[in-house]
């Protein structure tokens, strides 16, 4: 499972408006609803699952990366969105640095292994400084998607 498989340009926010953790999560979730990836009737359930996960421990993992995630009965396949903030978002990250790249994903509740594999793959991918540099330089959603596609591990 790679970000290139999970994302389309319509699921990418090249410059987020949010400056705080929860606003950023809502901004990406709202995009996924507007794109039909999450049904509007499920919005509160999805946000509640994401909030519960964030209250356990921040998903700001360091290096300017956050990976808010949850499992839910409201989705039948992995759903993801990506947001970039050049100014940085206060995310209560493990290293106390601002977050510039957010990958939000929701996994069907009964797919625990998929959840772990997706989380690990995203963290490993974004841990590469060159990937983060390329994402920071990309001009728009199409270019961001090209970074994910060009650097996707081949299996």
For the annotated catalytic residues, the residue numbers are: 69
- The C-alpha atoms of residue 62 and residue 46 are separated, in whole angstroms, by 24
Q: Give the bridge partners for 102, in sequence order.
A: 66, 83
φ/ψ of 92, rounded to 5, equals: 55, 40
25, 37, 39: which is closest to 102 by C-alpha?
A: 25
86, 64, 67: which is closest to 17 by C-alpha?
A: 86
Question: What distances in angstroms separate CA 73 from CA 45, 81, 109, 139, one per listed residue?
Answer: 9, 18, 5, 36
φ/ψ of 90, rounded to 5, equals: -70, 115
């Amino acid at each position: 499972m790679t970000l290139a498989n999970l994302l389309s340009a319509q699921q990418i926010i090249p410059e987020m408006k949010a400056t705080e953790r929860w606003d950023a999560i809502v901004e990406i979730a709202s995009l996924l609803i507007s794109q039909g990836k999450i049904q509007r009737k499920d919005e509160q359930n999805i946000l509640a699952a994401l909030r519960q996960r964030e209250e356990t421990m921040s998903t700001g993992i360091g290096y300017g990366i956050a990976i808010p995630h949850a499992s839910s009965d409201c989705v039948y396949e992995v759903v993801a969105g990506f947001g970039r903030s050049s100014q940085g978002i206060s995310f209560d990250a493990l290293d106390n640095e601002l977050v510039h790249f957010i990958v939000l994903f929701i996994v069907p509740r009964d797919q625990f292994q998929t959840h772990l594999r997706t989380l690990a793959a995203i963290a490993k991918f974004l841990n590469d400084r060159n990937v983060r540099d390329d994402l920071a330089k990309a001009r728009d959603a199409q270019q961001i998607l090209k970074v994910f596609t060009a650097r996707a591990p081949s299996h």
